[in-house]
Each structure stands twice: as C-alpha cells, then as structure tokens.
Amino acid sequence: MSANDTYQSPLASRYASREMLELFSARKRGTTWRWLWVWLAEAQKELGLAIPEGAIEQMKLRVVVTDEDLQVVAKEEKIRRHDVMAHIHAFGQAAPAAAGIIHWAATSAYVTDNTDLILLRDGLNLLLPKLATIIYKLSEFAIKYKDMPTLGLTHYQPAQPITVGRRAAQWVQDLMMDLEDIERVKDDLRFRGAVGTTGTQASFMEIFSGDGEKVDQMNKIIIEKAGFEKCYSISTQTYTRKVDLRVINALAAFGATVLRITSDIRHLAAQKEMEEPFERSQIGSSAMAYKRNPMRCERIASLGRYLANINSPVSDTYASQWFERTLDDSSIRRITIPEAFLSADAILLTLNNVCSGLVVYPAVIHSHVMAELPFMATENILMKLVSKGENRQRAHEEIRVLSHQASDVVRGGKPNDLIERIKKTPFFSSIVDEIDEMMDPKNFIGRCPEQVINYCQDPEGEVQTKLKPYKKYIEASNAVELSV
C-alpha cells in the first residue's frame, strides 16, 4: 500500500524538521533501547556478573536497528503482544552471543522510560537554539524600530503611542520567559535508571546477592553512559508522569505565546502597518488575486492553539495513574509527547521565517498615528496653557467642546481637524506658534527607545546575556539563511 493511501500526520508530512522527526522515529527509539541494553550489560560485567565472551561486542555491532530488525519486531509483536519482548527477541537474533543476558533483571520501563527521558532531553536541546535564534532576530527588529512611533492600543482602541520596536520587545520578553521555562525543565530532567518492577531494585539486589552498593554502582555507570547527572530518587514501575507534565506545560506555554504574538501581527497586517514575508509568486487567495493573506502567522496560530492545549491530556494522564503504575498512560503518551515536540518544532521553523523578513510600512503607521494624535495631544496643550497662566478648568472646557466637534467630523468620514480648530480659536492664541512642534509623535513615546536598548541591546542586559550560550548556533543559522 502506498503512503498516499494511509493517513499521515501533517506534522510529519508538512511541518516539522527532519531532525525532530528522526528523534521520535521507530529506528531511533529501537536503537536507544539497544544502547540501554548494552549499557546495562557493560555495567553488570564491570561489577562482576557473568556476561558471555563477545556478547557486548556483538550487541554494539548490531546496536542500530535496521529495517530488517523492525520487520522481525513487527512479526514477533503480533505473536507476543508485547513490544519490548519483540525487540528483545529481535536483538537476540542479531546478537546471539548476548541473547541470554539481554534485559537481565530489568523491567520493560528500563528501556521505555529511560528512552523517553533521553528523547525529552534531546528534543528540548533541538528546540532551545531555534527559540534563541528567534529571540535574537526579534531583538534586532526591536532595536531597528525602537524610535518609530506607532499607536499603542488598549481594548483595541487607540491609546498613548509606543514604538514599533517597543511592541516587538514585549514579544521578545514573552519568548524569553518560554526560553527560561524550557531551559529549566531540561536542566531538571533526571534519569530513571535500573530500579526494577516497582522501583524497589529487588531484582537487581537478587543478581548482586544483596549487595546494594553494587546496585548503586551499576546505576551510576548507566546514568553516566546516558549523559545524565543523576536519577530520580523515587520511581515506581515508571518515572512519575509529573515529569511529562512539567515538560509539556513549558511547551504549551510557548504555544500560547506564539498564538498571542501572531495575533498581533495578523491584526497589524489587516491595518497594513506590518506583514510577514510575502513571496513574489505566492498566492493569497484562489478567488481574490489581490489578497496578501498572513498564512504563515495563521499556521503558527493554528499550531500554537493545538500546542497550548496539549498539556490537558498529559495532566489527565498523570492524575489517572494508580499506585505504582497503570498502562493507560502508554497509548496516549505515544501521541502527545511526540506531537508536542513536533508542533513546537514546526512553529519555530515558521516563526523563524516570519521574524527573518517582517515588513514594516512607515507611511501607513505615521498616517494612523497622525489621525489620532490630535486627541492625544490635548493633554499636552492643556498643560501648556496652564503654564501660560490660563485657567485649567476653562481650558479643559474649550478643548472638550472642540474635541467633540472634531469627533463628529471623523465619524462623518473626514480627516481629524481638531488641531486646525484649536489654531483658529482665539482662546489658544498664546500657544498657537508652539502647537505644530507639540504634534511631533516622538514627544509622546516616553522612554520606549531607552527601554528597547536596555532590554534588547545592552551586552550585559537580560536578552544578550541569555543568548550567549546559543551564539554559535545563531551565527550558523544566519549564515545558512544568507546563503540561500
């Protein structure tokens, strides 16, 4: 049967990167299981157990799972109804000298759970540099536009102006929180190790004749080979599914962040102030040829919505585990964990593209600012009048009346003429020569440029300090992009 005749996840066929797809592939999982069996045998041999001559060497030669191995596994699993036992059988065929000692004293979770922890760690290591690169690019964008006034919007209504760069710095700050959260859950990951059926290590105590010190040494060897620093102090048959929840919560929060950011960009695109990259041959609509739909941001928003909510079944799975474990976690974890990582990966790939080519339209932004600025300038005009000795209450009333008149004009579809009305009113004669200068939008942006510089550009500031460990990846990513 052709792949075109069966369902394929769009995350695999359309969106996620090759390296993330390979990480959660059947070959990677099976090969990692085999390495865990190699490490277990090596530790057991080092500590004096009778491992047959040549067994470990044979295991290492066949440690990479082949297509033929997977065919054997599929056939055996139909018979045995147990995926781990099917793999043990296939590995034993591939390395017959080791067939009798593969998985010695271990339970299935030794390979399944320890592999999951390796995949969680490696998956986070794939995501983090990509997220750091996006933060870098958005920071550069924020710095570039730190001085460009734009309408601040509260309640989606015009409010005090900010700058294009300051708005982007807010996006950067939210992504920085995601970077910190994801780094934290990665750094907190531990290994399950070899702890037996219910976590008591009874089976390993048996093969080491009650020598708990050797059991601890065996675990230490395995943990180091797997690249972890320590294991969880308490495990049942599995590591606690609270670990999955902590990791997926961090990814889900990232999903919410990108949904929030791309909503802003999509609204700005509708206002023709900013848009994502749009290729020359790109088609916005099959019917409306003039359209420039923000399809990349829409894709990110769609995947972000999915990712933001994927922690719900993970939370339910953790909460539904009974005592030392139940198997109702298995099927759903096969879906939720890979899809959370594939979704996050797909989002990062597309968001990188968006942040690499955001287009700003200064003239449109300026016209929108100037359409609203007369109303916003009235407070400054009021203060200037008072400084000239005018009565504040009378000045307020004069401005109020003229503002309502100008509002009626705007609602009639005509340009805002408040400033012209003020200039023509005798009451304002004392400041009429200063009004045009007061209408410079940069008078209303407060400390926006300074805030952007301090947050995004300062070498010792939050963003630049956080990005230092990812510098080589960011430079490599930019070099590849420039060469395309």
If one looks up domain 109-360 in CATH, what number appears? 1.20.200.10
Q: What DSSP element (H or E) covers 478?
A: helix 471-483
> With b meaning 16 or more CB within 10 Å and e meaning fewer, what string describes 460-473?
eeebbebbeebeeb
The predicted pLDDT at position 483 comes to: 41
Class for the domain spanning 364-444: mainly alpha
Where in the sequence numbering do the catalytic residues fall? 155, 285
* Span 217-263, pLDDT tens digits: 999 999 999 999 999 999 999 999 999 999 999 999 999 999 999 99
CA distance to 29, 132, 142, 174, 222, per residue, from 139 (Å):
37, 10, 5, 12, 42
Give SS3 for 157.
strand
Rg (the chain; Cα; Å):
31
* Strand residues in 267-406 grouped as ranges (E): 274-275, 359-360
The predicted pLDDT at position 281 comes to: 53
* Span 341-391, pLDDT tens digits: 999 999 999 999 999 999 999 999 999 999 999 888 888 899 899 998 999
Domain residue spans of the chain: 3-104, 109-360, 364-444
| CATH H-level, domain 3-104: superfamily | Fumarase/aspartase (N-terminal domain) (1.10.275.10)
**Count of Cβ atoms closer than 10 Å to residue 77 Cβ:** 17
Average pLDDT, the chain: 93
What integer is the mean pLDDT of 95-99? 97
Cα–Cα distance measured from residue 419 to residue 435, given in angstroms and rounded to the nearest whole number: 8
In the structure, what pLDDT confidence band is assigned to residue 30 with cuts at 50, 70 and 90?
Answer: very high
